[in-house]
Structure 1
């Protein structure tokens, strides 16, 4: 069969969130073609879309996608020959190993039956909460986004965010941050709840399913109720954060910038293996020196929604457009013109 190369690549790339970075389960690093669907599954996320090829079997994902991206031709010929996928275009020819038997344990994924429109603001709430979820697997609950009937929230023991929103759920669910981040940017318009999964679907027919958990999430209400002295964050700090993020983004496990405040000044610093960048902005602040860390994208988002905040003894609270954010602060002392922890 002859297929459009770019259309095939687009479909393959749409199901990438379901691939495993390590071989956790059988065929979890493969594109699996069934009678009607193209499927990926890594035990936490499953993706499916109408199959672009009339074949059945599992093909190593990395090799297939890399090959297709390096071919310049618009059309390619694809067919199965003796448990291998043959790709031919002009004088170019390749074969990829193909497992005809599907061993991917996709049968544990429940089929959604009732689809509902995703509430307005839900994807935005999830997106803004991602940076606040924890990364320490020993504190599993905090690595999840908490979707409550009345709000979306996240916490990593240093910062908290809550986005009030009628989600339409009857019971709260937890979904791992790394699973949910895949739905951002995919134009998801519908969702469905089954016993163990939350499913999202977009107009192109892509279904992305995230494993859901029912553990209790900490009550953050008291933390979010912190009050303190009103103050204003500097405006137009996006460019500063973008420059600092050049270095902080090198820390893939903990991309954060350090914000230090002292009388009349706010310093934003991003640091990574390649070096660091810092910049000072004027601010109306006359309190003691303090510092806090925050994800750069979250700082940009927060400052774009609201510059008003409250500074308490232990935390900084920002009430933005539809959300409340609180971060722990650390009192610091100055030594030789520099800030240091006290």
Structure 2
């Protein structure tokens, strides 16, 4: 049941959103933003049980063999000398999605996961700009994430469904199930893996940013090529300890380059503890930028170089994968 836990709500604002619902041979969770279902052949009853109680008990049982018995309004569990009785709500009021029988196959699941991972880490967490909190996926294989001062644009294999916007928070949970299929409905998008797990996420029914402005922003005239030093991964590994935030997309480190030296800085949000580390770098220019450490690590796995534009206002990384896909990461530089 661990696989469906991300679909639970932290507080029960809507009924049964903090419960595991068992119906039609599956266990289901729902929190109004995402829903996750997974087939469980061994379960032959239907109803909803508080997740905190059921999951909390099961992970603490030392024996694998668990006996289940249904009473009128309870589920009785016996495991060795342990006996427990949990309340069972026989009426399930969580929404039930009617999915189509036909699913669209994701042409290259590994590439899709890699590109969606890069894009989601570039999205904004500012809910006043809902488009920028989403990853934009196009039918021709484009995957885009942006937050107003940085953009990831990936071009891979085509999508089996029409263009859609999916919140970055939904992408984060979707990637955990390793999807191989997808289908759309009006307000939701559904992903399914080989094991039959289905993650459903709300989608934003809106157009994305102006394509002309986007294409213009992505154009960079080369001023200098920058190659990051061999020690940059170790620097990031230490820096991300201090970059922790309540929301992982908000984690940030500062990178400053000047006088042929690169400096990495990070400040802890709660304690204000800090770290600073420097190394030599072959770069004549003076630049500074902020970046999520996990995103920078993922970029460095694909390329160690970037291009500084002639105006000194943009930095661009270009990455290619083994399948012929291309990703571009553009960041607007911090004025000093």
TM-score w.r.t. the length of structure 2 is 0.89
The answer to whether the Cα contact below 8 Å between 2:161 and 2:182 also exists between their aligned partners in 1 is no
Match of 1:79 in 2: 69
Distance 2:31 2:158 in 1: 27
Structure 1 segments (4+ residues) deviating >6 Å? none
Question: Which residue of 275, 278, 281 maps to 1:280?
Answer: 278
CA–CA distance in structure 2, aligned partners of residues 43 and 301 of structure 1: 31
User: Aligned-pair distance for 1:89?
Assistant: 1.6
> How far 1:37 moved relative to its partner?
1.8
Equivalent of residue 234 in structure 2, options 230, 239, 243: 239
- In structure 2, the gaps of 5 or more residues are 321-325
Q: What is the CA–CA distance in structure 2 between the aligned matches of 1:70 and 1:170, rounded to whole Å?
A: 42
Q: Which residue of 1 aligns with 2:299?
A: 302
Q: Distance in 1 between matches of 2:233 and 2:220?
A: 26
Q: What residue is the counterpart of 1:158 in the other structure?
A: 149
CA-based RMSD of the aligned residues comes to 1.8
How far apart, in 2, do the equivalents of 1:60 and 1:86 lie? 14
Answering whether residue 113 of structure 2 is matched by residue 118 of structure 1, we say no
TM-aligned CA distance change 1:235 to 1:118, over 3 Å: farther
Quick one: structure 1 residues 184 and 35, their matched pair in 2 at CA, closer, same or farther if it must change by over 3 Å? Answer: closer
Structure 1: segments with no counterpart, 5+ residues: 1-11, 333-342
**Matched residue, 2:327:** 323
Residue 136 (structure 1) aligned with residue 133 (structure 2): no
Alignment partner, residue 23 of structure 1: 12
For normalisation by structure 1, the TM-score amounts to: 0.87
Q: Secondary structure at the match of 1:213?
A: coil
Distance 2:76 2:84 in 1: 6
CA shift, 1:244, in A, is: 0.8
Q: Is it true that 1:41 corresponds to 2:30 in the alignment?
A: yes
**Secondary structure of 1:142's partner?**
helix
Give the number of aligned pairs: 318
Asked whether the equivalents of residues 190 and 198 of structure 2 are also in contact (C-alpha less than 8 Å), the reply is yes
Distance 1:192 1:302 in 2: 29
Matched, 1:225 2:219: yes
Q: CA deviation at 1:139?
A: 0.7
Question: Residue 337 of structure 1 aligns with which residue?
Answer: none
| CA apart distance, 1:199 | 1.6
Q: Deviation at 1:119?
A: 2.2
